[in-house]
Structure 1
Amino acid sequence: MYRTPKNVLKMAVACGALLAATGCANVPLAPEESNQKAKTFAAPDEGKSGLFVYRDSYVGKALKKDVYVDGNCIGETADRVFFYTQVEGDKPHKVSTESEFSPNDLLVTMEAGKNYFVRQFIKMGVFVGGAGLEQVTEEEGKRVISKPEVKLATQGQCG
């Protein structure tokens, strides 16, 4: 069957969209010992709050998205990865992620001695998928991060 250039272009765009929705991105992972230690969800150090940021969205598996806390790079996410960091307790912190046209920010006030959980999710965009953030309950965050396929990523490498 003969295909016109217009039809070929449509097929290429459709295949690219399918790959972006189902492919997998890789980011550097922390050693397994660090992964297991983080999954104990221990109380943070004195005067600190623990922050877990994770991604588990089905859409946009081929995309990597940067995450920042108070303007500092935490790392680049992919599907089924998480980060753990400690921040100063008893104050608000800005968690940010890159999106299609501008950063998305989430302000979370964190009490010292507690762990907090933020989920990054991928959403459809005009040209490429964007990213959003939402604070989730401790129970939900622990449930997702405890899964064997969810791994601790190496910090400090933004794209």
Structure 2
Amino acid sequence: MLTRLKMLAVATGFAVMTGCASVPMESAEADAALKTFAAPPADQAGLYIYRDSFAGKGLKKSVTVDGKVIGETANKVYFHKLITPGSHQIGTESEFSDNVIDLMAVAGKNYYVRQSIKVGVFVGGAKLEVVPEAEGQADLQKCTLATSL
């Protein structure tokens, strides 16, 4: 009996870590327009936040910019936001507390932040990292634009 319970627990955990979560999506036209990676207006910076990790496909994770939720990520989705130049905090919900990174934005430049899911004790955690422009643009080709709040 104990072996069956262990197998059920492992199967459930695997399903949660690899299943697919869905979030509200924007139009294909809006997605295509943002994938041209045009320079933002001269007085703003562009921020792309995306998730392309294999692990945790069944999990949704909230993403914040300066403490305000912009949406929930699922695998292979991204958000785009125009931000003012200067210091910003990008955050994501994780297992025990939010993970936050600081970003110093320069006007007229795009920034690319990858959210990845990591193994946790009870549920997968999440981390953020700023990635180089070429890497972010290549990764975003495999993602679709999610609706921001």
> Same-fold call, TM > 0.5?
yes
Q: Render the CA deviation track for 1:30-53: whole Å, top value 9, x for unaligned.
A: 011110111111111231000000
Q: Which has the larger radius of gyration?
A: 1
Q: Shift in Å at residue 22 of structure 1?
A: 1.5
Distance 2:14 2:99 in 1: 25
Calculate percent identity across the aligned residue pairs.
49
> What per-residue deviation string (whole Å, max 9, x for no partner) do you get for residues 57-104 of structure 1?
000000000000001111100000000000001x11100000000000
The question of 1:136 aligning with 2:131 is answered: yes
| 1:79 and 2:75 matched | yes
Task: Show structure 1 runs of 4+ deviating over 6 A.
Answer: none
The residue that corresponds to 1:31 in the other structure is: 27
Match of 1:112 in 2: 107
Partner of 1:66: 62
Query: Which of 20, 23, 41 is the matching residue for 2:37?
Result: 41
Following superposition, the deviation at residue 151 of structure 1 comes to: 0.2
Shift of 1:26: 0.6
State how far apart, in whole Å, the 2-side matches of 1:155 and 1:56 are.
Answer: 18
1:135 aligns to what SS in structure 2? strand
Normalised by the length of structure 2, the TM-score is 0.97
Q: Report the Cα distance in structure 1 between the residues aligned to 2:141 and 2:59, rounded to whole angstroms.
A: 23
Amino acid at match of 2:81: T
Query: Match of 1:105, SS?
Result: strand
RMSD of aligned alpha carbons: 0.8
Gaps of 5+ in 1: none
TM-score (norm 1): 0.91
The alignment covers a number of residue pairs equal to 149
Q: Any idea what SS the aligned residue of 2:127 has? A: strand
Structure 2 unmatched runs, 5+: none
Separation in 2, partners of 1:98, 1:21? 16
The aligned residue for residue 145 of structure 2 is: 152
